Amino acid sequence: MVAAQILGADLMYRPLLLSLVLMTFPHANGAVRALVIAGLGGEPAYESAFEAAASDVAAGLGSTDAEVALLTRDDARADNVRRTLEDWARTTNADDIVLIAFIGHGSFDGEQFRFNVPGADFNADSLAGWLNAIDSSAQVVVIASSASGAAHGPLAHPSRTILTATRSGGEKNATRFHQFFAAALSSDAADIDKDGSVTMEEAYNYTETHLKEEFDQQGQLLTEHAKRSGPASNLMLARVTPDQATVSDAALNSRLDLLERAIVTLTGRKHDMDSETYFTELKLLLLQMAEAEQQRRPFAAEEVTRVVQVSTSRLGTGLLPELRTPAPVEVEIELPRIGEQDLP
């Protein structure tokens, strides 16, 4: 129903041709190097929460055979961040992928976003300079902190995906993004397609959906709005163990419900996104929904067969396990026929 409301009458009159450009990060073609930083907490409760979340994120990344460096407490100083990235600039190969995850407090004075760490803080411009010196195929930056939305501008780069806990520097309350992002990397519930791994797309959708639910359940106004920019990324962040070898109807229904909520959340952010990014993310969610529907109920022969053209150059391997190939392929996916009664 959600899909029909979004795509409208086009589903009735012509095949759904999704030209999905997939951004894949196969380890066979290059290493993944990750730096996880737990920033300054300011008080014991935040200190322990940031450190625990950073450790969980590092553990999740480590399960994918990524090379992971974890900086916590006094080790999380700006000089250590700089030295690590300068070393990577000398040793990283052009087909490697670099990921930076910062969990902590951030600040924005109207001009600069700053990462709060022991000793002198460092700002987004400094981080951009260190990352720009690294010749890598793709970079991912996750900033789970207050005011982190202000970092999108300084960090923008054609090959860099940026995820932040807030959409602007004006959202200055302590954030909860890190709690759900860390949980996603150890949760089978975040593994939408049940392929035993959690991708960037899955972790972001899980985090955004559960964050909103927590605020709603507590009757609170949402004070943080996650934001992402740059190329779509489905980098695998963690391996997880499915609860069952086969997916039950209950699990499929839960997965479909999560996907529908993710689509509703995405459409709510439509006016804050450029159209290409919006439709790329929408198509990814719709294709995952079609796959889940196909697992739950074999479609009848008379139902419409949609040909989905998939090019594995931009969106990711978390979508369909059988598409893990560097060459473009065509996959037939049967979608139910949509009638006028299903449209708004």
Determine the pLDDT at residue 330: 38
Q: What integer is the mean pLDDT of 202-222? A: 91
Determine the pLDDT at residue 199: 94
Q: Is residue 156 part of a domain?
A: yes
Q: Are the CB atoms for 256 and 292 separated by under 8 Å?
A: yes
Q: Is residue 97 part of a domain?
A: yes
Range of the domain at 127: 25-186
What pLDDT digit, counting tens, does each position of 229-266 carry?
999 888 999 998 765 334 455 556 666 777 787 788 88
- How many helices (H) and strands (E) the chain has is answered by 10, 14
Q: Is residue 310 part of a domain?
A: no
Q: Which residue has the tokens 């479909």?
A: 256
Domains held by the chain: number: 1
Write the DSSP assignment of 224-264 as a string of letters. Answer: ---EEESS----EEEE---S-SS--HHHHHHHHHHHHHHHH
- In degrees rounded to 5, what are phi and psi of residue 229? -150, 170
pLDDT: which is higher, 11 or 71:
71
> Distance (Å, rounded) from C-alpha 27 to C-alpha 35?
17
Q: Is residue 139 part of a domain?
A: yes
Q: Is residue 89 part of a domain?
A: yes
pLDDT over 80 at 23, yes or no: no
Name the H helices within the chain.
2-7, 10-13, 44-62, 78-91, 124-132, 152-155, 177-184, 200-217, 249-268, 275-296
Determine the pLDDT at residue 292: 67
What pLDDT digit, counting tens, does each position of 72-127 carry?
999 999 999 999 999 999 999 999 999 999 999 999 999 999 999 999 999 999 99
Pairing, β 122-123 against β 329-334: unpaired
Q: Is residue 142 part of a domain?
A: yes
Q: Are the CB atoms for 209 and 265 separated by under 8 Å?
A: yes
pLDDT: which is higher, 52 or 265:
52
pLDDT: which is higher, 236 or 300:
236
Residue 142 CB contacts under 8 Å (≥ 6 apart), including other chains: 99, 100, 101, 102, 163, 164, 181
What pLDDT digit, counting tens, does each position of 142-158 carry?
999 999 999 999 999 99
Provide the percentage of residues in the chain whose pLDDT is more than 90.
51
pLDDT over 80 at 198, yes or no: yes
What pLDDT digit, counting tens, does each position of 159-175 carry?
999 999 999 999 999 99
**121-125, 282-286, 306-310: segment of lowest average pLDDT:** 306-310
Q: At 166, which CATH number?
A: 3.40.50.1460
Determine the pLDDT at residue 44: 86
Q: Is residue 323 part of a domain?
A: no
Q: Is residue 336 part of a domain?
A: no
* Helix (H/G/I), strand (E/B), else coil: 107: strand
Determine the pLDDT at residue 228: 93
pTM of the model: 0.65
Q: Compute the mean pLDDT over every residue in the chain, rounded to the nearest whole number.
A: 77
Determine the pLDDT at residue 263: 85
Which pLDDT band, with edges at 50, 70 and 90, does 138 fall under? very high
| Gyration radius from the chain CA atoms | 20
